[in-house]
Amino acid sequence: MRAYILNYEFILMNVIITGTGFGFPDGTGSTSRVMAFAKCILNNDGFVNVFCLKPTENHGTDGRNIKLKGVYDGIPFEYTCGKRIIANTRIGAFYLYLKGLFRSYIAIISINKKKPVDAIILWYGEEILNFIFFFILTRLIGAVLILEKSEYPFVYSKRTITKKIMIIFYEKISLKYVDGVIVITEYLKKYYEKHLGKNGRILKMPIIVDVGLFYSKKPKNRFVKKKIIYCGNLDHNSEIIDLLMAFKIISKDYPDWILEIIGPITDVRMMKIYNTLLFTNDLQKRVLFVGQVSRSEIPERLSTADIMVLPRTLGKFSTAGFPTKPREYLATGIPVIVTKTGEIGEYLKDKESAYLVMPNEKKEFSRVLREVISNYSDAIKVGKNGRAVAIREFDLKVQSKRLLNYISEFYK
């Protein structure tokens, strides 16, 4: 049965979420958004499957995403490539990618026979083979093809001849034939409005969070040091370095505060640079690099914070995109300090629902850190207001209805 609306209730929506560049169930921002979309569908009695087309783990991440297939928090998932560890050679990597496509085809055809698939939501649809494969597949099974875009396309790529060809194909062909695109910011919406075909539909969906999951009523242990927490991707090296330098500036004045940094790093050389900075600035006992933690541990980890921070550098990636981590920060009700990039200022007000800092200003970041620590009773009020914003703007219950309504409109 196709998706339809009966008395404003969504019935039997069946959606496939697939693509490359995200692990499951643990990963970075893309994984968080995949998880959020899947929960939007499940929470409205729909059906969803997540397929990872490529391996996502390096040899150094042996403890992450161990299962190739399973169910996480009610979400069925599978690494259709049959491997979780990235191949050592290009030929090996391409073979696994083709295997992932082929096995996803078999799986989706099988699912479609039991319950017709309404939509395939594709991550990284700018990859030519990704798009062609799923465009043909959706036409075969009568589903719609929707691209998810929370970053500017090819923003991290060097402009080689190959990339230029991919950009031309993406803008002149792929986007003319795709059914829809889900974007995270107005900046991206304007980009896709210029390139989509006349029947293409755009949905702007901000960050999404299960607000109740990240709120803890447990009293904090005041016999331990007070904690500033950063949680994100440590490969964003300039942001981590700026954070370390900002903390260094205020560290001697607040000896009872520590900085905890949570997240994965793939570039071992950068970890050596971070450690050198710690020893050079006598911060080795004040800064803790936790590394990657499982998704199930994140809520409890964040609940131990007294302040949460997210510095970002200025660039097209931060202007066009929207970081996923503030959704979890804000949901805790703990004071948040975040760089004002992209549309962050559209949702959050400085000293009202968060503390906003202009990008590339580590001295200013440290000044705001000092202000928050020195006036912590005021900061607690700001944290509560930030949680109210998360409930109003980003809550799963609010955004799930918009997502399912968007998909159902293709069948009206």
Q: Tell me what percent of the residues of the chain surpass a pLDDT of 90.
A: 62
Residues β-bridged to residue 258: 227
Q: How far apart are CA 25 and CA 395, in angstroms?
A: 20
224 and 190 in one domain? no
**At 153, is the pLDDT very low, low, confident or very high (cuts 50, 70, 90)?**
confident
Distance CA 215, CA 236 (A): 27
Residue 185 buriedness (CB in 10 A; 0-12 / 13-18 / 19+): buried
Same domain, 342 and 406: no
318: pLDDT strictly greater than 70: no
* Nearby residues of 147 by Cβ (< 8 Å), 6 or more positions away: 121, 122, 125, 178, 180, 181, 182
Which backbone phi and psi does 338 adopt, to 5 degrees?
A: -140, 145
Buried b (16+ CB within 10 A) or exposed e, 221-235: eeeeeebbbbbbbbe
Residue 2: exposure state from Cβ atoms within 10 A (0-12, 13-18, ≥19): middle
Same domain for 272 and 225?
yes
What pLDDT does residue 296 have? Answer: 86
Are 101 and 170 in the same domain?
yes
Task: Give me the phi and psi of 200, to 5 degrees please.
Answer: -70, 140
Question: What one-character DSSP code corresponds to residue 220?
Answer: P
**266 within 8 A of 235, measured Cβ to Cβ:** yes
Domain count of the chain? 2
- Which pLDDT belongs to residue 64? 80
Same domain, residue pair 284 and 195: no
Assess whether 242 and 361 both reside in one domain.
yes
- Bigger pLDDT: 163 or 3? 163
User: Is residue 405 domain-shared with residue 363, that is, in the same domain?
Assistant: no
pTM for this predicted structure: 0.89
Residues 243, 203 share a domain:
no
Domain at 120, CATH number: 3.40.50.2000
Distance separating alpha carbons of residues 388 and 386, to the nearest angstrom = 5
pLDDT digits (tens, 9 = 90+) for 199-257: 999 999 998 988 888 876 666 655 567 999 999 888 778 889 999 999 999 999 999 99
According to the per-residue pLDDT averaged within each range, which of 144-158, 215-229, 305-319 is highest? 144-158
Whether residues 138 and 185 share a domain: the answer is yes
Structure tokens at 56: 């996502």
pLDDT tens readout for residues 112-140: 999 999 999 999 888 999 999 999 999 99
Lowest mean pLDDT of 156-160, 303-307, 328-332, name the range: 156-160
Query: How would residue 8 be classed by pLDDT, with cut points 50, 70 and 90?
Result: very low
Specify the DSSP element, H or E, that contains 406: helix 396-408
**Domain coverage including residue 141:** 4-208+395-411
DSSP state of 211: G
Same domain for 143 and 276, yes or no, is: no
Question: Could you tell me the end-to-end alpha-carbon distance of the chain, in angstroms, rounded to an integer?
Answer: 14
User: Residue 24: how many CA atoms within 13 Å on its side-chain side?
Assistant: 31
**Do both 166 and 286 map to the same domain?**
no
Same-domain status, 374 and 251: yes
